[in-house]
Structure 1
Amino acid sequence: MPPSCRGSINKEGLQPVALFTKKHKELVVAGEDWMTDTSTSCIIVGALIVIITFAAAFTVPGENNQETGFSISTNKKLFKVFIMSDVMSLFLSTTSVLVFSGIFTSRYAEEDFLKSMPKKMVIGLSTLFFSIATAMIAFCVSVPLILPEKWIAPLVGLLARMLTPGYMVNAYKVKNIFMYSSYFAL
């Protein structure tokens, strides 16, 4: 709507914003239901990733030194990549759970659907997607640390290269839909 028409009044004495609110009350209810359902699903996924990555941080892959109790692999580059990606996944998934919890505590007012809710959803989905990606990296890196066979690492790498692009395309489609509809649509 052109800015010059925003203050105009129709025959019923309503401004455009008030008329839209009156005619689309069910849209707010449907939006609230959709946000709640989506947030619930994403919280479950995020919580599962938190549990898995937390456990993986304390169940270090590879053999342990019998004298010190620490992993023999700690000096390997793969081990460092595993720890960094596992920690990143843990923090990103925790952030996504907190953001989606914030959606539950929202008051679901009409103006919240313009900026606040889409912003929370974009942040929550982005952190969730990146936590899944970093968890996949941690898994792929841990396989060669655990299994000494040389042929397994390339096989896992090949499978990851085949699955990851499809996952990333779908993840970015969802995120871009939110970004476009929230910040670039007229």
Structure 2
Amino acid sequence: MDFDSDEDSIRYYVAYHFQASFEGATTRFQGLDHVSSALFSRLEVGQPLEILYWPADPSLSAVKAELQPPSLTVLLGFGGIGGLFTLIGLAMIVSSIIGIVNMSRLRMGGQVAQGIVFKKWIDTDADGDTTYFVAYAFNAEMPGKGFQRILRAEQNKRLYDAVPVGEGLMVRYLPDDPHICRADTIR
């Protein structure tokens, strides 16, 4: 039995020997294992100790008392975190696919309306990265509701640079859901 220490902690070690059957003969093996302070304080030199070893290579061994099955709480915690990250990833994939499908639908079957830019702004984050936003309005026929004014804001530097507040712009929207739309810089 031995221990070593540094400024932050004390590490406890147990040296042991055991006999195991290996390659048809009973052979003596030795091991050294790091153990908890609680186990270390209960042990005495020469005391019998249960050892676990790998039969294919008995030199790989450990003190059995220190090998506990993983806690159900720990397993559920890691499983839950892994499940959460999986769900977040799936949500991002689904969102991306929906965005791609909507852009295709806009290109192939979107209707065009005249809109007007009513606000522009710049947002700068803590890292100094700048994002440019443009808010615009247009009228579109809502299925079963007649014409309604649609307000939309999008992140778009090219549109921010090209169209001043109060100027017109073309908006392409989906006839079945005008809230799915995209502004063009072409006026």
User: TM-score of the superposition, structure 1-length normalised?
Assistant: 0.24
User: TM-score of the superposition, structure 2-length normalised?
Assistant: 0.24
Max Rg structure:
2
Higher relative contact order (CA 8 A, sep 6+): 1
Which structure carries more helix by proportion? 1
